[in-house]
């Protein structure tokens, strides 16, 4: 019985370790994906703002100067 209990505890520890590793990997992947998405969104917003501002400047400013 002692050997069986030891084996069970070892298996439980191994399974727990695997689960912990999987959870950590999943969390890291999720964090990386979120960071990448946020960076992409920020870059897209900045590009859109720059394009809109340049368009407004090029279209509206000549009319104002006239």
More confident residue, 62 or 18: 18
3-state secondary structure of 47: helix
> Whole domain around residue 7: which residue ranges?
1-66
Task: State the Cα–Cα distance between residues 64 and 9, nearest whole angstrom.
Answer: 80
pLDDT at 57 over 90: no
Distance (Å, whole) CA 21 – CA 14? 11
Could you give the number of structural domains in the chain? 1
The per-residue pLDDT for 59 is 81
Residue 66 CA to residue 64 CA, distance in Å, equals: 5
Length of the chain as a residue count: 66
């Amino acid at each position: 019985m002692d050997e069986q209990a030891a084996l069970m505890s070892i298996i439980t520890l191994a399974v727990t370790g695997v689960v912990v590793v999987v959870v950590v990997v999943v969390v890291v992947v999720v964090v990386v994906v979120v960071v990448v998405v946020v960076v992409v969104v920020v870059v897209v917003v900045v590009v859109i703002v720059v394009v809109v501002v340049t368009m407004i400047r090029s279209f509206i400013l000549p009319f104002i100067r006239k």
